[in-house]
Amino acid sequence: MQFANVSRGQAEKVFVVVQEGGDQELLPGNIAEFDVTTTDADQGYVVSGSSVTANLTLAPSKPLAGICDSTLSTSDVGRLQIYGPANVRVVTTITAGLPAAATTHDSASIGTHVATTALMTTDAHYGGGLGVIGTVLEAVNATNHTVQLRMM
């Protein structure tokens, strides 16, 4: 893990090093998840996007890895942010103060996660915290929000 220097003038951020699993390029603000594999060296290291659409019965089936900080090309090694304020791609505006959850919102973004309002009152996956990435600090616009990540 990489911990940003503690500073009285800047919020703390934490990153993990990962490798994209060969599926597709991950773009800044997108949510990645760990690949489920029997290869020991890849466990907790290889990531990809997902094609799960979050709703009342579906949630991500793999552990969330973090938010892409800068473009991560296919099979490339890079870093994902897992804690602190981050720019996150969203489906639509989420009210500040609400939890944000991972989802894929349409066929154009299959393989990449974005955030949506968490469905924590009715779904066991979200109720247990699976899929929740953090709390929205600011609804920047309809496609980008600042989210206080809690993915550690």
The reported pLDDT for the residue numbered 105 is 59
Q: What's the confidence (pLDDT) of residue 110?
A: 41
| DSSP secondary structure letter of residue 133 | E
| Cα angle value 149/103/52 (rounded, 5°) | 135
In degrees and rounded to multiples of 5, residue 37 shows phi and psi of -150, 160
Residue 79 confidence (pLDDT): 94
Closest CA to 31 of 74, 81, 75: 81
Determine the pLDDT at residue 45.
95
pTM of the complete model: 0.83
Q: What pLDDT score was predicted for residue 4? A: 74
pLDDT in tens, the chain (152 residues): 788 777 788 889 999 999 999 888 888 988 888 998 899 999 999 998 765 666 556 666 778 899 998 999 999 999 999 999 999 888 778 888 888 877 765 544 544 456 666 554 544 445 455 677 888 899 888 888 899 998 87
Give helix then strand counts, H and E, for the chain: 1, 10
Counting Cα atoms < 13 Å in the Cβ hemisphere of 100 gives: 38
pLDDT confidence of residue 78:
95
Q: H helices of 49-145, where?
A: 124-127
| Sequence ranges of the domains in the chain | 2-150
Give pLDDT tens digits for 1-18: 788 777 788 889 999 999
Residue 148, strand partner residues: 85, 135
Q: Are the CB atoms for 136 and 146 separated by under 8 Å?
A: yes
Residue range 68-85, pLDDT digits in tens: 989 999 999 999 999 999
